[in-house]
Amino acid sequence: MAKIKIDLSGKVAKPQVVVGIDLGTTNSLVAWVNPSTGNAEVIADELGALVPSVIGLMPGGSAQVGVLAKGGLVTAPERTIFSVKRLLGRSYKDIADFQRYLGYRIIDEDNESMVKIEVDGKYYNPIELSAIILKALKEKAERALNVEVVQAVVTVPAYFNDAQRQATRDAGKLAGLEILRIVNEPTAASLSYGLGLNREEVETVLVYDLGGGTFDVSILQIEDGVFDVLATKGDTALGGDDIDRSVMSMWQQAYPALNQVVLAGDIQRLRLVAEAAKIALSGNPTETFTHDFALGDGLSVLLSLDYTGLQAAAKELLLKTENCIAAALRDASLKPSQIQAVVMVGGSTRYPQVKALLEEKFPHVAVNNTLNPDEVVALGAAIEADVLAGNRKDILLLDVTPLSLGIETAGGLMDVLIPRNNKIPCRVGREYTTSVDGQVNLKISVFQGERELVAQNRKLGEFILKDIPAMPAGFPKIEVAFALDADGLLKVSAKELRSGVTQQIDIKPQYGLTDEQVEAMLMAGFQHAQEDVTARLHQEAINEGHQLVYLAKRFIEKNANLLNEDEMEGTKQRISALECLLAERGEKDAILQAVTALNDYTRPFAERLMDVAVSAALKGKEI
């Protein structure tokens, strides 16, 4: 299979580097391999290397990112976006649990489409928001190194699903970056310690990542330069913050005077002191931390904590992470003695008890903790970027697919199943469903290329999955699977999982394509990346609008008796307002506003229907 390197050097005046980006929940970083030293380095400017993953959406429509935006968390929570990574590629349903922790408005449409955030009547989805952060990182690197940055490797957690990975790629495109590869964070962390660079050895590595608000442990098997995730376990609500909280409650018990602080709502200030105590004692376990905490009216209380106290506060957290390690080992069917290396990642691993725990569990290996735990993921991404840029001759690149492969979905969108640069052989499956009641046939059209609309990609073939049993829209579960073998032969199959109906075709994607044509397709995808993603987001809004019109019409047809005349009229008006916008392919934000308006208006009717259904069910019981 041809290995394609795009050469954009004719287009730009400045030299280019390929960077590695750690797009984090709390903090993000960008790193590169310095050609003069050959070492991976994080890229810093006058504000340092860490970029807080915080976005301030300003009234004029501009955005601030990082340290500059952080103050807004307190002063303007409704326009200060944090933890975007928790929203990426998720639906409203997925995030219901932690929505209450966020100060900004997430539109709750209680459905399965991507979440949206509203600020000043403008709608942002997590892809656009992540793109703002990526763009800031790109520009930071460009300023610091005085180069052009176009290509990047971006890391994601090992547990990220397909949709979350695709969302990360889209964010890169919107930011004007070509994402050469999405790499798992534990893989990047391992690379930063040089694990997996020796292709002769098979290595089993455990990566322990304890951050501020999330924990995950992954077990990787590295063989022949391939990093396989054998198991990954974690908790998205576990981290160093838990230690801070338990220090606070220890103090609140020990110093009753503090409880008036709680009433005064100044809990944030106390939390920061607790965190400072934790960090001070982590660096200096033999000292006692003290802090004169002001209570107002000239009163204060002298808080103190020693290392024994800190250990007590952190005990439960460590125990929970220990359970995750055990569960991951179980999943991977491995004994602790089979782990050959341990890597520590995340700011909270600076707490000495973490290393002690890992050394006790894995006494036979050295724990890798010499690098800065905040930086290891970005450094590893930079090494991967350097490899993909062709700068390292000691590492062989695996065979990869030169162009993305996917199928057409509603509105002529390209849904990529196997992204370009994916290693082969590989197999990917994804579930789809129908959008119309009683649909019995489904056309699967297979395309190749980097554009967001299939019309601009290359069609490889199509087939029809026939005889799907008639079911309501959204009911059938159709798994489309792409299997690309080492010879570049693609098998596409579709199976309706409820009935077992199956259909399949074989395709040779590279057949009849010269290297020049592949390169031209890559260039086209790259040159149109931003307008393409914008077009895609527009089309997705249109699809969402059509779906809602369909559901709303069906609802009023079936449940006319639930609505009075005014309500019926109001619903119809909102439906036709939305239909008009859809017919003229109106602006994205206008469509989304009409969608929200119709949703908000009809929600009480849907609730009424539920009440009727419940009382009918209760009546049924009486008989």
Q: Confirm or reject binding of residue 351 to ligand ADP (CB under 6 A).
A: yes
Q: Compute the distance between CA of residue 235 and CA of residue 252 in angstroms, rounded to an integer.
A: 27
Nearest to 590 by CA among 537, 533, 541: 541
Q: Which stretch binds Mg ion (CB under 5 A): 152-160, 343-351, 480-488, 573-581?
A: 343-351
Q: Which helix (H) or strand (E) holds 203?
A: strand 203-210
Query: Tokens 């904590």 belong to which residue?
Result: 305
Q: Which stretch binds ligand ADP (CB under 6 A): 72-80, 124-132, 342-350, 528-536?
A: 342-350
Q: Which stretch binds ligand ADP (CB under 6 A): 33-41, 254-262, 343-351, 382-390?
A: 343-351
Question: Among the options 209, 241, 242, 374, which is catalytic?
Answer: 209
Q: Confirm or reject binding of residue 211 to Mg ion (CB under 5 A).
A: yes
DSSP state of 201: -
Pairing of strands 63-65, 55-57: antiparallel
> According to CB under 6 A, which residues from 268 to 287 bind ligand ADP?
275, 278-279, 282-283
> Shortest distance, CB of residue 24 to Mg ion, whole angstroms?
5
Q: Does the annotation mark 235 as catalytic?
A: no
Q: Compute the distance between CA of residue 220 and CA of residue 202 in angstroms, rounded to an integer.
A: 10
Q: Confirm or reject binding of residue 130 to ligand ADP (CB under 6 A).
A: no
Q: Compute the distance between CA of residue 165 and CA of residue 162 in angstroms, rounded to an integer.
A: 5
Question: Among the options 85, 116, 233, 278, which is catalytic?
Answer: 85
Contact partner, 172, from Mg ion, ligand ADP, none, Cβ < 5-8 Å per class: none
Q: Does the annotation mark 94 as catalytic?
A: no
Contact partner, 351, from Mg ion, ligand ADP, none, Cβ < 5-8 Å per class: ligand ADP
267 token code pair: 């809990």
- Chosen residue from 72, 213, 234, 419 binding ligand ADP by CB under 6 A: 213
> Shortest distance, CB of residue 559 to Mg ion, whole angstroms?
48
Question: Among the options 185, 241, 275, 452, which is catalytic?
Answer: 185
> Shortest distance, CB of residue 183 to ligand ADP, whole angstroms?
16
Residue 561 to residues 404, 566, 570, 614, Cα–Cα distance (Å): 50, 13, 15, 17
Q: Compute the distance between CA of residue 41 and CA of residue 55 in angstroms, rounded to an integer.
A: 25
> Shortest distance, CB of residue 324 to Mg ion, whole angstroms?
16
Q: Does the annotation mark 85 as catalytic?
A: yes
Return the amino acid letter for 191. Answer: L
Q: Does the annotation mark 565 as catalytic?
A: no
> Shortest distance, CB of residue 173 to ligand ADP, whole angstroms?
24
Phi first, then psi, for residue 453 (nearest 5°) are -105, 130
Q: Identify the sign of the CA torsion 141, 143, 147, 150.
A: positive
Return the amino acid letter for 343. Answer: V
Q: Compute the distance between CA of residue 594 and CA of residue 581 in angstroms, rounded to an integer.
A: 8
Q: Compute the distance between CA of residue 241 and CA of residue 244 in angstroms, rounded to an integer.
A: 5
Q: Confirm or reject binding of residue 525 to ligand ADP (CB under 6 A).
A: no
> Shortest distance, CB of residue 4 to Mg ion, whole angstroms?
33
Question: Among the options 22, 128, 374, 544, which is catalytic?
Answer: 22
Q: Identify the sign of the CA torsion 31, 33, 35, 37.
A: positive
Q: Which stretch binds Mg ion (CB under 5 A): 106-114, 203-211, 383-391, 578-586?
A: 203-211
Query: Tokens 């509203």 belong to which residue?
Result: 118
State the catalytic residues. 22, 85, 185, 209
Contacting positions for ligand ADP (CB under 6 A):
24-27, 211-214, 239-241, 275, 278-279, 282-283, 346-348, 350-351, 374
